[in-house]
Chain A
Amino acid sequence: MPKRVAIVGVGLTRCSSWRRDVSYPELVYEAVSAALQDAEIGPEAVDAVVFGSMDPFDGVNAPERWCVDACASAGALNKPLLKISTGGTTGGSAALGGYYHVASGMFDVVLVVCSQRVGETLDAQRVLNTAVDPVYERGFGVGAITVGAIQAASHMHRYGTTEEDLARVAVQNHDNSANNPYAHLRFKFTVEDALASRVLSWPLHLSDCCPSSDGACAVIFASEEKAPKLAKQPAWVRAAGQITDNYFMGDRPWAEDWDSLAILARRIYRLAKIDNPRREIDVAELYQAFSIQQILEYEALGFCEKGEGAKLVREGVTAMGGELPVCPSGGVLCTNPIGASGLIRVAEAALQVMGKADLRQVPNVKTALAHAWGATIGFHTLMVLDREAP
């Protein structure tokens, strides 16, 4: 039987297109010290560390080595460290790593830290292209934006979603990021402004795409014995998991539906005993590097029927003040330090449950959902956090 686990501390850094003021370890130190401070513990209280990044975005391979001193216990205190790298899901997978460590009963307090310096490369799409197989697909100029655009083209063709619908998603997220001091893009615009921005990869406009960000995040997981002592309101893990899909996109050409996420959601809802996700989840932090993905995610996560994702945005259901606010932080669309972005979703969901999300706080959150996708839309992670222990 897995032990019960809760999040007891969260550390976020300011994110921007290039954190010129800090080195890689200094950036990690910023996140880790903030998390330790939040949990009011010293580094000696940490039993193990899980580190995540998507190599080689930063131009430094295996940056866990360079950052080991900044990971609190891992360095001078000679504690164990594991590194996890699963593309865009890295942060979600690292959170699972922390959760599994504690749920196993082998560790009481585990620090999860993820960092990425996308701003240290001059073109992120070129680095992303190195993650594509060199035999068949690498020569086609494929990066993350290509798959996002293909999802959008398919969704528009099948369900009649429009470029205006995508613009509404962007506007909603930018309205939210204005409340988030850690967000990268913090400016508002209108649907008309979004539609007037240039097309990068049709049907995606500039406003439909995430920025390249530098940033880090740290989250502390604790056992059921330790958690109530370390946090006034811990964020308990009610269920969590990961799913994989085929390598070749052409093996799953129904890009308008995110079937793998829908399957994972059913598994996780069963574990969490959630029957009606739209009613029972109070806030969701979804990984949407491209506006269209928020729409596909609503449908896959059962917030609405297939093809009706755009309607939720049009009707304000997922805006702040709506029935189910999504991405009060502004999401990945406004801030994307890739390998850290999945952990930021977990951190933001935890802050909502702990009641510590300040200006972006949704009132009375009991249950929050955190998601990440990666590996050219082939991987997903989900974590359900709750005010009450399961």
Chain B
Amino acid sequence: MTTEQEEPLIVEGRWDIPYRHTAGKAASRFLRELKENKRIVGIRCPKCRRVLVPPRSFCERCFVATDEWVPLPDRGTLDTFTIIYEQFLGMPPPPYCVGMIKLEGADTSLMHYVSGVDMSDLEKGKQNIRVGMKLQAEWKDEREGRISDILYFKPV
């Protein structure tokens, strides 16, 4: 017999599990080029001739292996973007802008941060970041072979 609603009990849980992710052939070369040569490299498909960034070991359209490395300039055009103004748990502190950047000479776009401009409020953000604008990579001084060796792309 219950005369009042029973308060349900809560059992807490938490996952904190370390992993080691294998970068693979193409990404290892790409990341090493960032670190050692401060250079972005794409890879060309021998069949459809597209230059793919980030590089991968096979072309998903032609399903053939890729092996022609193509050095690319560290500048490009902003395809599209969003500016995040909300703090999500475990995510970067807002505001920050995530863009899709088409590097000169590439056929695909690279995801990266767009920064180096005032986006402290929405009006400033919309004014300073626009689709189609030219961007240039801003590099880390101490590079470690991670995509974050490029800090962000900033408007030229």
Contact = CB atoms under 8 A, between A and B. Distances in A.
A54 B148 CA distance: 29
A21 B5 CA distance: 10
B88 interface: yes
A249 B111 contact: yes
Interface in A94-136: 120, 122-123, 125-126, 129, 134-136
A139 B80 contact: no
In the complex, which range does the number of interface residues on chain A fall in?
35 or more
A241 interface: no
Contacts of A142: 98, 111
Given A125-B89, A141-B88, A141-B96, A153 B111 contact: no
A253 B80 contact: yes
Contacts of A56: 15
A146 B98 contact: yes
Contact of B147 (A126, A139, A145, A247): A139
A200 B82 CA distance: 10
Interface in B38-54: 52-54
A351 B97 CA distance: 42
Nearest to B102: A253
Interface string A81-96: 0000000000000000
Given A150-B80, A153-B80, A253-B102, A59 B13 contact: yes
Contact of A253 (B19, B88, B109): B109
B126 interface: yes
Residue among B19, B82, B147 with most chain A CB within 10 A: B82
Given A125-B88, A126-B88, A153 B131 contact: yes
A164 interface: no
Given A136-B54, A150-B100, A201 B80 contact: no
Interface string A148-165: 011011100100000000
Given A140-B98, A246-B60, A253-B102, A202 B83 contact: yes
A344 B52 CA distance: 38
A329 B110 CA distance: 37
A198 interface: yes
Given A20-B8, A201-B83, A251-B52, 7 more contacts: A134-B21, A154-B79, A199-B85, A200-B86, A249-B111, A250-B54, A250-B108
